[in-house]
Structure 1
């Protein structure tokens, strides 16, 4: 596992899906080719308009209180997702971003992605590694993993493993991923876009995972850029996570113990 840092269980899901449960307002259409690109200082505020499916696992954004044997610090584990826990991507292997608080010792963690359908759930990816935390991490789905399919819903969860023999006490956060098909106009816009322009386009189209990942990479590469710092602060504020905007940012470029259950 390699980390680049700058200053700055599969879970059981009770499936109750039915068609059309992922509500996308008409005003937030997937093809907004006529919209003007917002200025860098303008951050969308409608991320929470995308509702997750009605299942037994609505997602937990913050580790929160638990009777776990985990250290108290672990409860600050936070998924960087909108308050509804739902986000969209046009990427086959999107990047998930989360804040891992500083832990008193190196601990085992697990990152799992599960495909969710009306009839079942299928684990498509699992990574495990160790970390002492203390930063916001960008965790991409590896190239060796099965890619996410267009039109399907996925649930991801990230766990701090406190007792390998009894994972019921783990600190867990997670969220939903809706992979969508970009319109030809959107694809053309992104083809020659700079990272700054790509972030603005993703934000305009309410494509959370790709917007956040694009901005996080810019922020990591230029930690002293005040404009990027302000934009990052504004993005997290737009989803109620401003308190972790100043955490150091790291990117994991490889992960040991990666498993894929999909063919």
Structure 2
């Protein structure tokens, strides 16, 4: 990650007025270049199993800012992928076990845990991501799911484990999106297209810093900034905590 991009992340973290930040050039791009996220036109509110207050629970050694999802929390995020990618930030310095789990909603919006997708692994003080293994059955198009990240910081007091949740729905890709995607191999442009069509999880997958190709870091910044503008003030601060990410 370049020095200029690092400064941009930290400036974003220290301000609440995102719109003025973008207009003043803190992000270093023009409005026309902003790979923004637009929520689905038929966006749905989250169920009672995932609320917009964010992290639940707290261990004594874990800060309130230790766990933040890179995902919509005030509405159900969408994806066209049956094996989507999920991302979050665990900013504590010490490696602590983290559990990722996935739940499927039934027709009454009651979640059932899908044990085969549960994974436990050590945390890191940077952006973390998990993609559903291609060895497992894919998610079902048209169905809604809840995903959860839990920090296992106190096995004797599991009720205090910080838990963050968000909801996701797998939807068919619009034909116009498919046609537009076929015209480019550039991850930044693909992220922009997915974001424009309200496919958050596809957009973030393309924008995540898994490659050193130029422009990826800025695309991720733009996506998160545009999502933060849509969330309430509390969630804005939580999303902008990704300023702590070391993307090198």
TM value normalised by structure 2: 0.72
Q: Structure 1 74/243 Cα, relative in aligned 2: closer, same or farther at 3 Å? A: closer
Give the structure 2 partner of residue 172 of structure 1.
Answer: 163
Give the structure 2 partner of residue 161 of structure 1.
Answer: 152
Shift of 1:143: 1.4
Give the structure 2 partner of residue 199 of structure 1.
Answer: 191
Inter-partner Cα distance in structure 2 for 1:180 and 1:86: 12
Instruction: Say whether the 8 Å CA contact 1:59–1:176 is kept in structure 2.
Output: no
Shift of 1:85: 5.0
| Residue aligned with 1:147, SS | coil
Deviations 1:205-234 (A, max 9, x none): 010000011011xx33127x4x44333222
> Does the alignment pair 1:232 with 2:220?
yes
**Worse overlay, 205-214 or 166-175:** 166-175
Q: Structure 1 6/178 Cα, relative in aligned 2: closer, same or farther at 3 Å? A: farther
| Residue aligned with 2:33, SS | coil
Inter-partner Cα distance in structure 1 for 2:141 and 2:166: 17
Instruction: Say whether the 8 Å CA contact 1:63–1:76 is kept in structure 2.
Output: no
Deviations 1:175-233 (A, max 9, x none): 001100113333233235312331121011010000011011xx33127x4x4433322
Larger strand percent = 1
| Residue aligned with 1:72, SS | coil
The alignment yields a C-alpha RMSD, in angstroms, of 3.0
Q: Structure 1 60/168 Cα, relative in aligned 2: closer, same or farther at 3 Å? A: farther
Give the structure 2 partner of residue 212 of structure 1.
Answer: 204
| Residue aligned with 2:224, SS | helix
> Does the alignment pair 1:130 with 2:118?
no
Give the structure 1 partner of residue 21 of structure 2.
Answer: none
Give the structure 1 partner of residue 130 of structure 2.
Answer: 139
| Residue aligned with 2:219, SS | helix
Q: Structure 1 197/84 Cα, relative in aligned 2: closer, same or farther at 3 Å? A: same
> Does the alignment pair 1:51 with 2:40?
no
Q: Structure 1 74/101 Cα, relative in aligned 2: closer, same or farther at 3 Å? A: farther
Inter-partner Cα distance in structure 2 for 1:6 and 1:154: 36
Shift of 1:171: 0.5
Q: How many residues are treated as equivalent by the alignment?
A: 208
Inter-partner Cα distance in structure 2 for 1:161 and 1:72: 10
Q: Select 1:72's aligned residue among 62, 71, 81.
A: 62
